[in-house]
Amino acid sequence: MTIDNQQVVALNYVLHTDGENNEKVLVEKSDAGNPLTFLYGVGMMIPKFEESIKGLTSGDKASFTILPAEGYGERNPQAVAQLPLEMFNESGMPPVGAILPLSDNQGNNFQAVVVEVTPEVVVADLNHPMAGKTLYFDVEIVDHREATEEELAHGHAHGIDGNSGH
């Protein structure tokens, strides 16, 4: 059996992006004892990521590249917000580089990065932190199995063994 829709996949990964002088910069990697586990085919992962692991099976390794247009898109220089200082009365002023959890009027959650703090406003970049970046993945499939009816109903994996206490 190979990876396909309605399966729970557990994999270890290493993610790099481009750095200075064509050097690759490590962004993040999974903990070998705690692989990334997700329900394949329900939109939890970047579509190109899923496409790149489709057909693999336990023990397989793969390396692939996801261009910005296939990942988090290009950076939009207009995607900047000036947030009123009153938003930060309780928590205090965030430092430059802080990641702010925000919600839009439709209830969608996203993150913004503080790029400037002035006496009048906090300026936040609303682009995804990986926007405009080429993503280089090295993955190893730890395990995969058919999703349970409960996982399909919930729309997410309950761990590679199917138990998460739900």
Q: Quote the DSSP letter at residue 114.
A: E
In sequence order, the β-bridge partners of residue 100 are 112
d(CA 156, CA 43): 10
Is the pLDDT score of 166 beyond 50?
no
Q: Which CATH number fits domain 80-125: 2.40.30.170, 2.40.50.1020, 2.40.10.330, 3.20.20.70?
A: 2.40.10.330
Give the DSSP per-residue string, 84-105: EGGGGTTT-PPPTT-EEEEE-T
- Residue ranges, CATH 3.10.50.40, the chain: 7-72+131-154
pLDDT digit string, tens, across residues 95-129: 999 988 888 888 888 889 999 999 999 999 999 88
Q: What architecture (CATH level 2) is domain 7-72+131-154?
A: Roll (3.10)
In sequence order, the β-bridge partners of residue 164 are none
Provide the whole-model pTM.
0.80
- Residue ranges, CATH 2.40.10.330, the chain: 80-125
